[in-house]
Structure 1
Amino acid sequence: MVEKFFGTVCGKIKDEPEIGRRKIKGTVVLMKKNVMDVTDAGASLLDRFHEVFGKGVSLQLISAVHFDPANGKRGKLGKAAYLEDWISKITSLSAEDHATFNVTFLWDESLGVPGAFIVRNHHHSQFYLKTVTLENVPEHGQLHFVCNSWVYPAHRYKYDRIFFPNKTYLPCDTPEPLRPYREEELINLRGNGTGMLKEWDRVYDYAYYNDLGSPEKGKDYARPVLGGSKEYPYPRRGRTGRKPNRKDPKSESRLFLLSLNTYVPRDELFNQVKFSDFIAYALKSLGQVLVPEIKAVTDKTFNEFDSFQDVLDLYEGGIKLPNDHKVHKIKERIPLELIKELTRSDGERFLKFPMPDIIKENKTAWRTDEEFGREMLAGVNPVVIRRLQEFPPTSTLDPRVYGDQNSTITRKHVEKYMNGITVDEAIARNKLFILDHHDALMPYLRRINTTTTKTYASRTLLLLQENGTLKPLAIELSLPHVQGDIHGATSEVFTPSEHGIESSVWQLAKAYAAVNDSGYHQLISHWLNTHAAIEPFIIATNRQLSVLHPIHKLLQPHFRDTMHINALARQILINAGGVLERTVFPARYAMEMSSAIYKNWNFTEQGLPEDLLKRGMAIEDESQPYGLKLVIEDYPYAVDGLEIWSAIESWVEDYCNFYYPTDDKILADNELQLWWKELREVGHGDLKNEPWWPKMQTKTELTKSCTIIIWIASALHAAVNFGQYPYAGYLPNRPTVSRRFMPKPGTPEFEELESNPDLAFLKTITAQFQTLLGVSLIEILSRHSTDEIYLGQRDDSEWTVDDQPREAFKKFGAVLVDIETRIVERNKDRALRNRFGPVNVAYTLLYPNTSDYSRQGGLNVRGIPNSISI
């Protein structure tokens, strides 16, 4: 009796056959929303009540062969079928658990092969639809649908939720009965451009970066709108539709400080496993919660490290707060979950971090000149150094505004350290290099230095040694002229020394250069050139390329989780007063400065070969692999990167050649053309008139563009992200802030540098609290998720029914295995000194994905995720 009741309620199909119809058996894999889903406060027992007494989940097949003239020539619909045994299958509280349900369709054989299905959720709660597989489809056999989408209750949508099988069609090749469904689905994803978007909305739309400031808090929290103007150009981000800020209508209102519920399309959110991991690790990033409390601590030296041992205590023992009543009040105001996370077995020591790789074997090797130079080739920011081709270095800043900004480094400064060769000989032999942050920082330096920051714009010159290492020759530190920008820069040049006060001054000069590089890395190499640059591609792909489109299938794995991590960054990291502004030297000018640098962003130069050529790190040579010859043979990022780049490029060429045998196919593909037009004119619309944009008229342009997109989202991001904790988790190696200028002889600061150089160094760089906050952040950002999907992998082996692309993808995976083997062998070659350096840290950031170790998650410093997922 009970079975009969539930069978009726849940729409269980009866066994009686119907004339002219054939049964098609199907299996549906999905994950129900759980009662105790902590990420959704709306979950309740009421959901289960509706599951029992609701109308169930229906699926309705759509013919790919016959259309209904009375329904706008859409494919004819079959009879709705309902999932069976819904009540008996409640997925566990583990977010990874999916349940398999049966469904039986009565299908009119005259309708031919189904080409899509409509799903309607009549329950109270959403569920995650993973796959649907149909068996014994007439004239076809098995039909597989890869869905991977959250389906909300039907009343949340003004349209039907439709899913297509793993067949790929160009728009012109799509069966006519499916074309209206294909087109309407894209219209639904674009939305109408109005209103505040809700969690069940699936709208991909564009907005400016007008959500970073909180002008209602006063001018210190106001930030300019980035994007949509010549003054502040920027890539677009996903629209949320929140109301304008009451104080400034140009700005979008912000959520509560620690709210993580900012809108992104539901399918772009982290899954439960990853979100739980993220929250757990984020508990260590306490700055915005505890800033007022920590500042109230009476210990006057709490915000300073008194010695390098104090810094090491972060990893060896943690920080012990003073035992007074104010600290007890701090602990009383910390949520219980944070106490559990931060306290150790003795219940007193806070903020103990994992030991960074840079100091695991040797606590002082990071201070050597060789390691300082090596990290420009194999550290966390190996994408800025360039070959010097003129001396002295010149500036590109407008002299009518900034005066003379050319370098003051002379031959006399450097030639005594150049092993007997002259500057001109070194330039001719491709041996002179520069890490140049002068022009990027100088326009903002006067404003930056009005904050607590006291820093310089730096140029660092280096010589390539016979053993392949880089030897720093000079560091120039520049400030704006006190009489005004038009008077140029005021500069001082520092050169290497190993003894006395000169050695201490040289260590400080390297620290100022490292501060510049740290800020540029975080704002430009990392945030702007990967996270921000790729988001418009995600939006445009979902708005203009159907899931049936081959380029959508190619690129979609490389967009996983990016919109969500970017939205979280806007909420708590790059916003006014956020973690980045508190821990990186440009402070409140950080994002504005990244906008100025975006003016020179060039899509084609984001590809590795073009980037290396632009920076002079390679020269064209058709006799060499990849048509390039590296001017530094032991350049780990470039050597490993070129192999990864070439593998991606070959895979993309094989894939695109299958669907686009001729250039005519590309020109005739209206979805592809609209996609590229929207990317240029809207997504990166502030640079739409730049001549370097590919025109998207040939296979060469298509494959090159897709290769660049995949490279940015996978290998480039891995190279500039996952080394953060290994190298910068120990802040003295990569300080993010300098708090006072280079001490001048005769001052108390100079006397302190002479008598206690370590203390003077620590008082100059990142303060203790900023260190705690910054290390907390990069520990989170450097972790691989336990559910990561790596380059050469797909989350479903049935991602396409087309055999040739599947074989090409298998070949791609095999090539990556071979590449990783070669990287491992190179890392064993002790003659390649830049592979490990004085700190003995191997370069593993571009290991692809093939070892079991890289799939364990955590701070494993290896594995290239498919996407910018953290």
Structure 2
Amino acid sequence: MVDYEVTVYTGNRVHATTVNPVHIKLVGTDGESDRTWLRSLVIFRGAVTTYTVSCPNSLGRLLLIELDKRQFFILPGDAWFPDKVEIKSPENDIYTFPIYCWISDSETHRFREGKALRIFDESHPLGQYAREQELSRRNVDYGWDLYAQGLPYSIKADGPMTLPDEVQFSFTKATEFAFTAATAVAELQLKGLTDNQENWTSLDDINDVFRNKDTPLSDYVQQHWKEDDFFAYQYLNGPHPTLIRRCKTLPGNFPVTDDMVFIPNGSNLSNELKRGNIYLCDYKHLDGLQANTVQGIQQYMMAPLVLFHKRPDDKLMPIAIQLKQTPAEDNPIFLPTDSTYDWLTAKIFVRSADFTEHQLNAHLLRTHLLAEVFAVSLLRNLPMVHPLYKLLVPHTRYTLQINEQARDTLIGPKGSFTLFAASGGESVTKILARSQSSITYRSLCIHEDIADRDMQDVPNFYYRDDGLQIWNIMFKFVQGMIQYYYKSDDEIQRDSELQTYIGDIFEHGFLSQPQSGIPQSFTTVSELIKFATMVMFTSSSQHAAVNNGQFDYGGWMPNTPLTLQRPPPTKKGTTSEATMLQTLPVINVTVQGMAVVWLLSRQSSDFVPLGHYPEDHFTEEIPRQLQKDYKAELDKLSTTINNRNKTLEIPYTYLDPKNVENSVAI
């Protein structure tokens, strides 16, 4: 007889304990053990327990283990969360089997040894069989569903609680999320605000909505939101830094002339266009859409064009606003030299349009929905033993559940966005479909996006500065990982699982549109490195950039109204403080919007920062060292960002790696 020393690591999660009998079978190249009971009455959360499995002869090189958990007589069925199993063989070889999933049924579950294997590395029929069985089950668990025509596909599910256990929120995350949402609503109800459909009579009254939830930056926004330089600053470093671009030639539908705008130091608009000092935000995706009806009142949503000038002191300043796409007599171009409330009202309409463009395009579509596509394709097409699965699975954590909840509570028939936002209802899917058709691979890669928008040298653009540094660090890490496993382009082409993975993304994420530039297959190592970097960046850093500042900039509603209930002025000189207050959303609509952005800006206690890997999917020495080097580089960048922020009036913190979650989890 020979003995195998089996050490079981149970996760330190709430409810990870099991009282059900657990059995294990070891499978090797030369045979398999009997199904052996791990003799514990209870396997506690966080426990590290060692057992002995005896066999008549050596099993050779271990390929996989089989685990099952059966309900025993009167004991209740429960779920068990093992992290990993380590096995010491009679030959003193150590094998590690990563698990990191819930076992809640009575089925037999197979787990591979931790060394990453590509499909053409499988030299034993049992390994190939286990790989096929795993993907067969995953294709059932992770099916595709079409939420609406023209949008990326989503996970096929009947609500968050029907998702597979391993992709649902932890008990901690679920409890905190529900509590945060409930306390926000309860506070608003106690203040009598959730049913109050009256107009605001004073801006000061808005400050009392969430007084105890203010952040330093939301307070700053309240004090400075009317100022032109702050209005412009938000397009560089607020939660929507991806729309603004340099403008060398004015759009034909934006007839701003030299005589209209004031340019300091004796210059004029024509000269500043040539010098590259003019920038544009164009909300054309919103053009021609019917705004929502909220509580029986027709709302208004514009599709503005906004022109900015970079002054000699490097400040960006708005110089012209046109609120509709088509020039007309009743569509004046508003200027800073207009009356105070004409100009302020025009900026409010722009900020309301920005709420829609940011939430639906930059945030929902380009991070949440794309991250979901990346996650579903990964889970459908790559087994746990595949090196790309091991690299990317940390960036899928909680994404499927948060998106299922968003489809229900935000953009579903009774969702907050549907009921209260100007773009709610039918316009949501129309805006998303328009935005989807404009997505390109280049726009998802920050180096190329910055170049295409010609924003390389704009001063004080911290989203660009920090984002490019994160991308470079991430690219270097991914390059090291991919090149460790793939030594030639031929190996990329031979990996049929990789090809199925990218084909699934091209079809279901980018709707088989070749003009998007998304690869339909992988032919080179460099292609895979770039694509994997984009997936990681989109699912972590880009989401942080467009998510984490939502309450900072939207907690003071007049700065980012989710809807407006009066049409824009069609003639100058017709606005006042009273008309502005009548234009802003009513009290209960305001507080609903503020509650949503507050909830979506909260960090949970089980937040996993970028570069942290609490689950050891890689077991080889070099990949593990690459992970450590990656984290060290991100820590160094975090220090640099913190030192810079000490010198800024408005610190830019959203791309500090310590504030970036590894996945789209909120």
User: What TM-score range do you get, normalising by the shorter chain?
Assistant: over 0.9
The residue aligned with 2:636 is: 818
Distance 1:655 1:362, change over 3 A: closer
Partner of 1:808, secondary structure, is helix
TM superposition shift of 1:581: 1.9
The within-5 A match list for 1:588-599 is 588=425, 589-599=427-437
**What is the rounded CA distance, in whole Å, between the counterparts of 1:30 and 1:103 in structure 2?**
17
TM superposition shift of 1:265: 1.9
Given candidates 782, 791, 809, the residue that maps to 2:627 is: 809
The residue aligned with 2:219 is: 360
Distance 1:479 1:472, change over 3 A: closer
Partner of 2:567, secondary structure, is coil
The residue aligned with 1:495 is: 335
TM superposition shift of 1:565: 0.1
- The reply on whether 1:275 has 2:174 as its aligned counterpart is yes
**What is the rounded CA distance, in whole Å, between the counterparts of 2:488 and 2:132 in structure 1?**
25
Given candidates 95, 98, 101, the residue that maps to 1:146 is: 98
Which structure has the greater CA radius of gyration? 1
Partner of 1:111, secondary structure, is coil
The residue aligned with 2:651 is: 842
Partner of 2:657, secondary structure, is coil
**What is the rounded CA distance, in whole Å, between the counterparts of 1:115 and 1:490 in structure 2?**
74
**What is the rounded CA distance, in whole Å, between the counterparts of 2:218 and 2:364 in structure 1?**
26
The one-letter code matched in structure 2 to 1:265 is: P
Distance 1:631 1:172, change over 3 A: same
**What is the rounded CA distance, in whole Å, between the counterparts of 2:314 and 2:77 in structure 1?**
61
The residue aligned with 2:86 is: 134
Contact in 2 for aligned 1:480/1:490 (Cα 8 Å): no
The residue aligned with 1:722 is: 548
**What is the rounded CA distance, in whole Å, between the counterparts of 2:195 and 2:642 in structure 1?**
50
- The reply on whether 1:24 has 2:24 as its aligned counterpart is no
**What is the rounded CA distance, in whole Å, between the counterparts of 1:478 and 1:261 in structure 2?**
39
The within-5 A match list for 1:376-775 is 376-391=235-250, 393-394=251-252, 406-414=253-261, 416-437=262-283, 439-445=284-290, 452-478=298-324, 491-497=331-337, 502-588=339-425, 589-617=427-455, 630-687=456-513, 690-693=516-519, 695-743=521-569, 750=574, 753-754=575-576, 757=577, 759-775=578-594
Contact in 1 for aligned 2:194/2:592 (Cα 8 Å): no
The one-letter code matched in structure 1 to 2:585 is: T
**What is the rounded CA distance, in whole Å, between the counterparts of 1:456 and 1:685 in structure 2?**
29
TM superposition shift of 1:592: 2.6
Q: Deviations over 1:464-485 (max 9, x none)?
A: 122222011011111779xxxx
**What is the rounded CA distance, in whole Å, between the counterparts of 1:745 and 1:670 in structure 2?**
63
Given candidates 201, 210, 221, the residue that maps to 1:306 is: 201
TM superposition shift of 1:454: 1.9
Partner of 2:162, secondary structure, is coil
**What is the rounded CA distance, in whole Å, between the counterparts of 1:712 and 1:653 in structure 2?**
17
Contact in 1 for aligned 2:8/2:50 (Cα 8 Å): yes
**What is the rounded CA distance, in whole Å, between the counterparts of 1:362 and 1:454 in structure 2?**
24
Contact in 2 for aligned 1:81/1:104 (Cα 8 Å): no
Partner of 1:61, secondary structure, is strand
**What is the rounded CA distance, in whole Å, between the counterparts of 1:866 and 1:33 in structure 2?**
21
Instruction: Single out whichever of 587-596 and 462-471 deviates more from structure 2.
Output: 587-596
The residue aligned with 2:32 is: 77
TM superposition shift of 1:120: 1.1
- The reply on whether 1:799 has 2:608 as its aligned counterpart is no
Distance 1:359 1:181, change over 3 A: closer
**What is the rounded CA distance, in whole Å, between the counterparts of 2:437 and 2:92 in structure 1?**
53
Instruction: Single out whichever of 419-428 and 168-177 deviates more from structure 2.
Output: 419-428
Contact in 2 for aligned 1:445/1:479 (Cα 8 Å): no
- The reply on whether 1:207 has 2:145 as its aligned counterpart is yes
Distance 1:126 1:686, change over 3 A: farther
TM superposition shift of 1:810: 1.3
TM superposition shift of 1:702: 0.3
Distance 1:31 1:810, change over 3 A: closer
The residue aligned with 1:178 is: 127
**What is the rounded CA distance, in whole Å, between the counterparts of 1:132 and 1:104 in structure 2?**
16
**What is the rounded CA distance, in whole Å, between the counterparts of 2:476 and 2:113 in structure 1?**
27
The within-5 A match list for 1:12-411 is 20-30=1-11, 34=15, 51=19, 56-63=21-28, 65-66=29-30, 76-87=31-42, 91=44, 97-123=45-71, 124-139=76-91, 141-154=93-106, 157=107, 160-176=108-124, 177-191=126-140, 203-209=141-147, 226-227=148-149, 233-240=150-157, 261-284=160-183, 286=185, 303-316=198-211, 353-360=212-219, 363-391=222-250, 393-394=251-252, 406-411=253-258
The residue aligned with 1:621 is: none
Distance 1:517 1:362, change over 3 A: closer
**What is the rounded CA distance, in whole Å, between the counterparts of 1:746 and 1:540 in structure 2?**
53
Partner of 2:641, secondary structure, is helix
Structure 1 runs not aligned, ≥5 long: 1-19, 38-46, 67-75, 92-96, 192-202, 210-225, 228-232, 243-259, 317-352, 395-405, 482-487, 618-629, 830-835, 850-862
Contact in 1 for aligned 2:331/2:570 (Cα 8 Å): no
Instruction: Single out whichever of 681-690 and 109-118 deviates more from structure 2.
Output: 681-690
RMSD of aligned alpha carbons: 2.7
Structure with higher RCO (Cα < 8 A, 6+ apart) = 2
The aligned length equals 657
**What is the rounded CA distance, in whole Å, between the counterparts of 2:322 and 2:404 in structure 1?**
38
Instruction: Single out whichever of 815-824 and 546-555 deviates more from structure 2.
Output: 815-824
Contact in 1 for aligned 2:291/2:423 (Cα 8 Å): no
**What is the rounded CA distance, in whole Å, between the counterparts of 1:632 and 1:534 in structure 2?**
29
The one-letter code matched in structure 2 to 1:818 is: K
The one-letter code matched in structure 2 to 1:431 is: N
**What is the rounded CA distance, in whole Å, between the counterparts of 1:361 and 1:605 in structure 2?**
31
Partner of 1:672, secondary structure, is helix
Contact in 1 for aligned 2:5/2:87 (Cα 8 Å): yes
Q: Deviations over 1:327-359 (max 9, x none)?
A: xxxxxxxxxxxxxxxxxxxxxxxxxx5113334
**What is the rounded CA distance, in whole Å, between the counterparts of 2:40 and 2:92 in structure 1?**
27
Contact in 2 for aligned 1:21/1:108 (Cα 8 Å): yes
Distance 1:362 1:118, change over 3 A: closer
**What is the rounded CA distance, in whole Å, between the counterparts of 1:33 and 1:389 in structure 2?**
57
TM-score, normalised by the number of residues in structure 2: 0.92
The one-letter code matched in structure 2 to 1:24 is: E
**What is the rounded CA distance, in whole Å, between the counterparts of 1:600 and 1:448 in structure 2?**
27
Contact in 2 for aligned 1:434/1:462 (Cα 8 Å): yes
Distance 1:296 1:726, change over 3 A: closer
Distance 1:843 1:710, change over 3 A: same
**What is the rounded CA distance, in whole Å, between the counterparts of 1:672 and 1:803 in structure 2?**
24
TM superposition shift of 1:777: 1.0
Identity among equivalent positions (%) equals: 24
Partner of 2:80, secondary structure, is strand
Contact in 1 for aligned 2:330/2:571 (Cα 8 Å): no
The one-letter code matched in structure 1 to 2:85 is: T
Distance 1:726 1:446, change over 3 A: closer
Contact in 1 for aligned 2:352/2:561 (Cα 8 Å): yes
**What is the rounded CA distance, in whole Å, between the counterparts of 2:90 and 2:329 in structure 1?**
78
**What is the rounded CA distance, in whole Å, between the counterparts of 2:266 and 2:315 in structure 1?**
17
Partner of 2:7, secondary structure, is strand
Contact in 2 for aligned 1:113/1:138 (Cα 8 Å): no
Partner of 2:207, secondary structure, is helix
**What is the rounded CA distance, in whole Å, between the counterparts of 1:569 and 1:453 in structure 2?**
23
TM superposition shift of 1:697: 0.4
Instruction: Single out whichever of 134-143 and 176-185 deviates more from structure 2.
Output: 134-143
Contact in 1 for aligned 2:618/2:624 (Cα 8 Å): yes
Contact in 1 for aligned 2:115/2:385 (Cα 8 Å): yes
Contact in 2 for aligned 1:560/1:867 (Cα 8 Å): yes
TM superposition shift of 1:408: 2.9
**What is the rounded CA distance, in whole Å, between the counterparts of 1:738 and 1:419 in structure 2?**
37
